[in-house]
């Protein structure tokens, strides 16, 4: 039996796992793919796992507690709100995510929505399809290089939005992220604000890109929307539950601000009768921001690199529960990787 058992939970049981095998080629690993149909099946599958690579929604407390000696749980996605983080920490399991695997894609979605809202692209297209030739319905259109962008979250994705909109479209950029060090603020030429409400009050466009956790759940709602300029726009490309959706709907109905671009919703798949889909000043996408051909293989490479680092006795670069370190022996630093398989 191989010394390392890696259980891939969810997905195609006939998947060749090319990226996973390539990244762990120097390790003696047994890969096991299981697509459980119940929590009980998932619990049984992970019992002997040294590492779990999660492609389904089986990151529950019971499944995690069923492990005997698991060292790491890696999700292929950027978001990890489907995993019980506390259970991982209690069991001494390092939780990693795909941080950086779709930063360009998600930031492009935010930028696209900002520009589409500015130029009223979707609204005027719909007007023309309805036989309405009336440019006044799209006005006023602000000069975006004279307007202010507010970024909630300044991680990999937020920094790419700042680079594209700040340098490319010359927008003044405000950042709310209490975890951002001052040297990054200086490097990107942005202004850091330490009050979320101040950002909402001053910005012409607001883009949200933070992980969903206890700290960020419903961090944005009526209090913030009431402070927005009537001419401002709101964009969310991270997780729907970062925003109190009923309060967002109420604010749009009351014209507290001009419109929104939404890639995510509190309920997904969203209810077809969601009022947001019927608003002419809202543009939407079905949680598509992180998608691209590159992101699809990069998510595999990223997850595999994290697991390989832990199995080699190192600390992974994308650990999301740093507090688990107090339960574990000291580890070295994860070495860099060029990636064994691309595309």
- Active-site annotation holder among 187, 191, 268, 323: 268
CA distance 122 to 284: 10
Give me the sign of the Cα torsion angle 13, 15, 17, 19: negative
Q: Is residue 318 within 8 Å of residue 295, measured between CB atoms?
A: no
Please give the distance of CA 82 from its chain centroid, rounded to a whole number: 12
Judge whether 147 counts as a catalytic residue.
no
- Active-site annotation holder among 258, 287, 300, 302: 287
Judge whether 287 counts as a catalytic residue.
yes
Element containing residue 34 per DSSP (H, E): strand 29-34
User: Computed over its alpha carbons, how large is the radius of gyration of the chain?
Assistant: 22
Go through 36-69 and write b for each residue having 16 or more CB atoms within 10 A of its CB, e for each that does not: beeeeebbebbeebbbbbbbeebbbeebbebbee
Would you state the structure tokens that stand for residue 219, as one six-digit string? 């961090």
- Active-site annotation holder among 4, 202, 239, 300: 239
3-state secondary structure of 133: coil
Determine whether 129 is exposed, middle or buried from the number of CB atoms within 10 Å of its CB (0-12, 13-18, 19+).
exposed
Picking from 264, 259, 265, the residue whose alpha carbon sits closest to that of residue 279 is 259
Go through 197-223 and write b for each residue having 16 or more CB atoms within 10 A of its CB, e for each that does not: eebbbbbbbbbbbbbbeeebeebbbee
Residues designated as active site = 239, 268, 287
């Amino acid at each position: 039996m191989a010394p390392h058992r890696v259980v891939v939970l969810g997905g195609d049981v006939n998947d060749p796992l090319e990226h996973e095998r390539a990244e762990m080629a120097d390790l003696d690993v047994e890969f096991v793919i299981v697509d459980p149909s119940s929590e009980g099946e998932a619990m049984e599958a992970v019992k002997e796992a040294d590492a779990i690579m999660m492609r389904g929604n089986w990151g529950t407390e019971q499944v995690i507690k069923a492990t005997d000696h698991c060292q790491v749980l890696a999700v292929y996605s950027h978001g990890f709100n489907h995993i019980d983080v506390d259970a991982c920490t209690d069991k001494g399991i390092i939780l990693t995510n795909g941080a950086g695997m779709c930063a360009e894609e998600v930031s492009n979605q935010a930028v696209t929505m900002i520009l589409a809202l500015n130029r009223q692209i979707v609204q005027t297209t719909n007007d023309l399809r309805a036989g309405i030739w009336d440019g006044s319905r799209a006005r006023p259109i602000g000069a975006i290089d004279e307007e202010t962008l507010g970024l909630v979250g300044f991680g990999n994705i937020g920094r790419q939005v700042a680079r594209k909109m700040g340098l490319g479209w010359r927008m003044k950029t405000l950042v709310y992220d209490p975890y951002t060090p001052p040297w990054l603020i200086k490097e990107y030429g942005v202004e850091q604000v330490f009050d979320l409400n101040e950002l909402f009050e001053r910005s012409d466009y607001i883009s949200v890109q933070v992980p969903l956790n206890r700290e960020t759940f419903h961090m944005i709602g009526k209090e913030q929307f009431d402070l927005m300029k009537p001419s401002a726009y709101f964009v969310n490309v991270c997780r729907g539950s970062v925003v109190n959706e009923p309060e967002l709907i109420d604010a749009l109905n009351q014209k507290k601000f001009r419109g929104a671009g939404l890639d995510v919703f509190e309920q997904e798949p969203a209810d077809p009768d969601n009022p947001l889909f019927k608003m002419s000043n809202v543009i939407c996408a079905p949680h598509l921001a992180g998608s691209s051909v590159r992101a699809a293989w990069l998510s595999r490479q990223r997850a595999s690199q994290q697991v390989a680092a832990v199995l080699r006795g190192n600390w992974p670069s994308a650990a999301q529960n740093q507090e688990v370190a107090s339960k574990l022996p000291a580890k070295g630093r994860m070495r860099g990787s060029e990636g064994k398989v691309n595309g």
